[in-house]
Amino acid sequence: MSRNGTARTSTGGFIQQIKLDPASDTGRYPFTLPVVRHLTRRRELDLHPQVTFLVGDNGTGKSTLIEAAAVAAGFNAEGGTQSFRFATRASESSLGDHLIMRWGIRKPRTGFFLRAESFYNVATEIERLEVGHAYGGVPLHERSHGESFLDVMTHRFGPDGLYVLDEPEAALSVRGCLALITRIGDLTRQGCQFLIATHSPILLAVPGAQILQIDSDGEIDEVTYDEAEPVALTRGFLAQPEGFLRHLLEE
């Protein structure tokens, strides 16, 4: 739903809506997470046809939701393309098995699930499969964390793709975040759709993106760039760092 309560019509995206079958609630994790409880009450979560951001504080469940969406879309839980089927240590929740995806008319030609916490495992699998030529030709383990992220986005991400990213800024400098914004802009003009969980006020500046904010109670609301918590808190800190620090250290 949009901020005014009306449904958003998504004609260009691959995934138009995500919803959770209320009957699937087991009463155990991950259904105890506030954001999942909210989804059981909400009819659907409409996605932007190009870029949707999920934001929220640590523990709100945004990464759990992004992981579940990736799994429901057919990606390996640790990351990679839809053809990756390796498993290092199963740590994903069962939420992806219970999400219902409403797909549009178009189907993605390619895609990738990029998550910061398990990217090392993905890079190792790429080496094992001997497909490094598709990622720039330089072994990802021989690149810095940020460089390897940008290699994947530059060389492996292509037109008409579905890309699910979990906190990509974890590996990126400010310049790297700006480079990712440029890459997202290029790819959305080539028919791509992005679903991204992030804390970065820089990435949230992607023009025209939808920002869905998850609060501590699990409520999901669409907000503007200026209203997004990472933006508001960062602006406040940069405007008066001494005041913030004095308050925090005195506490």
Strand 110-115 vs strand 161-166: parallel, antiparallel, or unpaired? parallel
pLDDT score, position 193: 98
Across 77-105, average pLDDT: 85
- pTM for this structure? 0.91
Where are the chain's structural domains? 15-113+160-250
pLDDT-based confidence at residue 12 (cuts at 50, 70, 90): low
Neighbours of 194 (CB within 10 A): 22
What DSSP line would sit under the chain, residue for residue? Answer: --TTSPPPP-SS-SEEEEEE-GGG--SSTTTTSHHHHHHHHSS-EE--SSEEEEEE-TTSSHHHHHHHHHHHTT--TTSB-TT----SS----SGGGTEEEEE-S---SEEEEEEGGGHHHHHHHHHHHT-GGGGTSS-GGGS-HHHHHHHIIIII--SSEEEEEE-GGGG--HHHHHHHHHHHHHHHTTT-EEEEE---TTGGG-TT-EEEEE-TT--EEEE-TTTSHHHHHHHHHHH-HHHHHHHHHH-
**CATH-assigned architecture of domain 15-113+160-250:** 3-Layer(aba) Sandwich (3.40)
Across 75-102, average pLDDT: 84
Strand 15-20 vs strand 99-103: parallel, antiparallel, or unpaired? antiparallel
Closest CA to 133 of 156, 150, 113: 156
Cα separation, 163 vs 52, whole angstroms: 11
Residues 158-177 pLDDT 10s:
999 999 999 999 999 999 99
pLDDT score, position 158: 95
Closest CA to 134 of 121, 144, 145, 122: 122
Residues 209-234 pLDDT 10s:
999 999 989 899 999 999 999 999 99
Across 97-108, average pLDDT: 92
Residues 68-85 pLDDT 10s:
999 999 999 999 998 888
